[in-house]
């Protein structure tokens, strides 16, 4: 298992869009929004670059406000029509610009865009980390199988809390206090 370090990690927020999430049962929507938002807060607190994608925003709407309000105007979502972010030249350029090789990936749907992205980028030598509570599919079976396939391909599957504390590395700092409050 690869260990996440802030200096080598980027956060990828995949397709957290209004209409797409509107198709989810409320409990599923609330869970993925909560944990993806925590991932964003962790990245912002620790100075980790964030790349956001939107799948066909004309049809699926923009990224949800719970995410865009946090990142502000400094992070502009990358529009795509391919399922895998790894097949979008604009995304690939933005990712390369971060200089990071460890990716923490959150978003939807686990078994489509998140899975295809993890597989493509993993084959390119990126180390993939997926918090199971910060990715979701409309159906539980798709979510579980998507996670299994990512794990079989070499991705590290954990939780938001596991990865947050890996990135923190130690207690007693202002970052630790801020992030601990988010996770409680």
- Dihedral sign, CA of 101, 52, 150, 4? positive
Dihedral of the CA atoms 90, 23, 144, 5 (nearest 10)? 40
Q: How far apart are CA 116 and CA 139, in angstroms?
A: 17
**Are 43 and 72 in contact, with CB atoms under 8 Å apart?**
no
Choose the catalytic residue: 41, 113, 120, 133: 113
Q: In sequence order, what DSSP letters do the residues of 42-87 get, joined into one string?
A: HHHHHT--EEEEEESHHHH-SBPHHHHHHHGGGSPPEEESSSSGGG
106 is catalytic: no
- How many C-alpha atoms does 7 have within 13 Å on its Cβ side? 1
Choose the catalytic residue: 80, 85, 106, 133: 80
80 is catalytic: yes
113 is catalytic: yes
Choose the catalytic residue: 15, 41, 120, 133: 15
Q: Which residues pair with 131 in a beta bridge?
A: 158
Active site residues: 15, 80, 113
């Amino acid at each position: 298992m690869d260990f996440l370090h802030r200096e080598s990690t980027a956060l990828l927020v995949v397709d957290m869009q209004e209409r797409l999430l509107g198709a989810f049962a409320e409990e599923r929507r609330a869970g993925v929004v909560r944990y993806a938002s925590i991932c964003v807060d962790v990245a912002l607190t620790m100075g980790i670059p964030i790349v956001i994608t939107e799948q066909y925003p004309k049809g699926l709407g923009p990224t949800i406000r719970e995410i865009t309000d946090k990142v502000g105007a400094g992070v502009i979502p990358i529009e795509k029509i391919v399922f895998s972010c790894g097949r979008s030249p604009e995304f690939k350029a933005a990712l390369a610009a971060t200089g990071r090789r460890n990716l923490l990936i959150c978003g939807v749907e686990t078994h489509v865009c998140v899975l295809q992205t993890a597989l493509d980028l993993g084959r390119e030598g990126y180390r993939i980390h997926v918090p199971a509570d910060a990715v979701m599919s409309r159906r539980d079976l798709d979510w579980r199988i998507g996670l299994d396939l990512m794990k079989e391909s070499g991705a590290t599957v954990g939780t938001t809390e596991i990865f947050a504390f890996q990135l923190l590395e130690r207690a007693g700092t202002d970052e630790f206090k801020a992030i601990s409050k988010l996770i409680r």
